[in-house]
Structure 1
Amino acid sequence: MSDKPETLEELYKRKFNWVPDSLRKEMGHFNVFPLDPFVGERAQPVPYIKRDYYKIMLAIGSSQVHYADKVVDVKKQALSFSHPQIPYKWEHNRIRRGFFCIFDQHFFHNFGDLNQYEVFQPNGTHLFELTDEQVAQVTAVYERMFAEIDSDYLYKYDVLRTLVFELLHFALKMQPSSTFDKQPINASQRISTLFLELLERQFPLDDTHQRVNLRTASDFAGQLNIHVNHLNRAVKEITQKTTSQLIAERIVQESKVLLKDSSWNVSEIAYALGFTETTHFNNFFKKHMQRSPLQYRKA
């Protein structure tokens, strides 16, 4: 995986061998495409990378999606939401058809914060299996996008933003009611949510100069301005795991991604993950993975 996220300009060069003039002129960018030329027998290998743009895709056909250290199977068809900070890769060879739209954060400047929605949050749901009826509904939204972007309407990009929100809310409404807590959120839930958001905000690591600063339960408690025992009780109550367990699991997850998909050496990875000595990182990794970082990288 490249240490730098793919830009919209690089996407256009990779997929289309051209870059629209408007990309350099517009404060925000939006475009929509059929998926057909890039799937099935015509599918080309897609790199496992981060992107600096958002993407919403309807993929019709079975497939697999690779996120960090997990693989998600799509049985028949799905709607996916890709966030700039979440690296992923689709297997396109079994997808038959579909659509995708791409846009950057400037496209929604002064029109709302997309990151407040779960589909664009690191721990949120990014993939939604669809029924045939739901595929027809989503396809209709994409067809309106194509019609709008080809029109001469002066405010067409306002309409296109509305259609993006339509896809977003279509997916959010699909989530099981249990996902949305209808009871008043108690103090433990609030504290746990804030802790997990702080933890996730430190990742992914894109640059060797970045460093994880919050490494212990005390670090997080200080940031949240609560006693560490209060934090530990709240997290254990809600997640059934200790604060230290969750921190360690997230650091292990990030270290696996960096070892497999970056060119950083082990010392650089250790530093970025907040370890004062490379040997401390080696011991930590071996404790959780039963092998050294170099053994894991070579496997």
Structure 2
Amino acid sequence: MSTTTITKNNRAADVTVTDLNGNKHTTSLFNVYRREDYLCRSHSAYSRRDYYKISLIIGTGILYYAEKGIEINKPALLFSNPNVPYAWEASSEEQSGYFCLFKEDFIRHEELAHIPMFKIGGEPLFFISETQQKFISSLFEKMLDEIETDYTFKHDLLRNYVYLIIHEAMKMHPADAYFRPSNASARIASLFMELLERQFPIDSPAHNFKFKTANDYALHLSVHVNHLNRAVKEVTGKTTTTHISERIITEAKALLRHTDWNISEIAYSLGFDYPAYFNNFFKKQTNTNPKAYRQSLVD
């Protein structure tokens, strides 16, 4: 895979990809690359990316995706979405093929929602034949040519090439040779904790706290909620719900201590529909209510 850094704009993040020579290339909406020009010959960090990605992988290695792992020993087409972490561990020196990166704005949201390869829980990997490899390679080559032009409607044309790849994949059966790494429980627990921590700190009363329940995390990690709960309890000794509750309480105390937000603002920012729910939750966890806790800090 490639090395990426993320810089934020007002609406969407820019993606900076570093090639083998250390040169940085930035895309704000769509871009396409040859894999052999980038860092695909070793190991990439197991993490979530902030963009959609379609890769034509030519070379052998192991792909880790959510809690799954799959050995890639022939050309494959991979669809990655921003919600599910993945990593690539190369096992051959020769790595070639292509990949393109794009933001959600590049394809309309209502269309993305109906593309099965990008859905949470969908199968993202397809092994392809020599004929399919040649056809998909030709589409990526057309993208590489088009991205350099000044054609007014080039993004429309690039989008059409992406759709052709998507439809080619939809005609195939997804790869079914997944195995579970020996440390699958540790990996799932780590991903859960990372996703939990990523929601903090809360820096605005208008903050949208997205993942409130174990089921929310399971959906975004592409695992069954029972499997997530077992893995987290096995590795940490605590339930998923306990981790979520403890982290919310830690953040609630920090907001009560370090901000002048009223109790209602803190409650809403932490995902509670009503301040009374927050009060009851806080008292159950700490044996005091938010107002009394804040007052105790100044007494």
TM-score range, shorter chain: 0.5 to 0.7
Aligned to 1:120: 118
Change (3 A) 1:81 1:127: same
Query: 1:268, 1:251 → 2: CA distance?
Result: 6
Distance 1:53 1:256 in 2: 31
1:106 alignment partner in structure 2: 105
Amino acid at match of 2:33: F
Q: Which whole-Å deviations, capped at 9, do the CAs of 1:229-250 have from their partners, x for residues lacking one?
A: xxxxxxxxxxxxxxxx953223
Matched residue SS, 2:17:
helix
Rate the CA distance shift 1:215–1:55 in 2: closer, same or farther, 3 A: closer
Q: Which aligned pairs between 1:218-229 and structure 2 lie closer than 5 A?
A: none
Give the TM-score taking structure 1 as reference length. 0.57
| Structure 2 gaps, min length 5 | 8-12, 175-193, 203-208, 216-222, 250-299
For the pair 1:271 / 2:230, whether they are aligned, the reply is no
Work out which of the two has the higher radius of gyration on C-alpha atoms and give 1 or 2. Answer: 2
Q: Which residue of 2 aligns with 1:35?
A: 35
Instruction: Name the SS of the counterpart of 2:150 in structure 1.
Output: coil
SS at match of 1:72: strand
Give yes or no for contact 1:148–1:156 (8 Å, CA) kept in 2: yes
TM-score between the two structures when normalised by the length of structure 2: 0.57
- Measured after TM superposition, the shift of residue 39 of structure 1 is 5.6
Indicate the SS of the match to 2:170. helix
Q: Is the 8 A contact 1:57 1:98 kept in 2?
A: yes
Give how far 1:77 is off: 1.2
Amino acid at match of 2:98: F
Residues 161 and 93 (structure 1), Cα distance of their counterparts in 2 relative to 1, 3 Å cut: same
Structure 1: stretches of 5+ with no match in the other structure: 24-28, 177-202, 217-244, 260-264, 278-299
Counterpart of 2:103, as a letter, is D
Q: Report the counterpart of residue 96 of structure 1 in structure 2.
A: 95
Structure 2 CA distance for partners of 1:55 and 1:45, relative to 1, 3 Å = same
Q: How does 1:58-207 map to 2 (within 5 A)?
A: 58-94=56-92, 95-109=94-108, 112-175=110-173, 205=196, 206-207=198-199
One-letter identity of the residue aligned with 1:207: Q
Q: How many aligned residue pairs are there?
A: 204
Distance 1:256 1:122, change over 3 A: farther
**Aligned Cα root-mean-square deviation (Å):** 3.8
**Counterpart AA for 1:270:** T
Larger relative helix fraction? 1
Would you say the 8 A contact 2:65–2:85 is kept in 1? yes
Is the alpha carbon distance of 1:257 and 1:60 closer, same or farther for their aligned partners in structure 2, counting shifts above 3 Å? farther
CA contact (8 A) 2:52 2:101 kept: yes
Question: Residues 81 and 6 from structure 1, CA distance in 2 versus in 1: closer, same or farther, beyond 3 angstroms?
Answer: farther
The one of 4, 8, 17 aligned to 1:12: 17
Q: Is the 8 A contact 1:81 1:126 kept in 2?
A: yes
Structure 1 residue 92 displacement after superposition: 3.1
**2:32–2:100 Cα contact (<8 Å) kept:** yes
Q: 1:36/1:246 Cα in 2 relative to 1: closer, same or farther (>3 Å)?
A: closer
Q: Percent identity?
A: 28
Aligned pair in 2 of structure 1 residues 107, 10: CA closer, same or farther (>3 Å)? Answer: closer
After the TM superposition, which residues 241-252 of structure 1 pair with which residues of structure 2 at under 5 Å, given as runs?
Answer: 246-252=224-230
Q: Distance in 1 between matches of 2:235 and 2:51?
A: 21
Post-superposition Cα deviations, 1:148-206, rounded to whole Å, max 9, x if no partner, equal 11222110000101111111111111127xxxxxxxxxxxxxxxxxxxxxxxxxx9543
Counterpart residue type for residue 59 of structure 1: I
- Residue matched to 1:224: none
Question: Once the two structures are superposed, what CA deviation does each residue of 1:205-252 show, in whole Å capped at 9, x if it has no partner?
Answer: 432575754569xxxxxxxxxxxxxxxxxxxxxxxxxxxx95322334
Taking the aligned partners of 1:256 and 1:138, their CA distance within structure 2 comes to: 43
- Contact 2:60–2:90, Cα closer than 8 Å, also in 1: no
CA contact (8 A) 1:38 1:44 kept: no
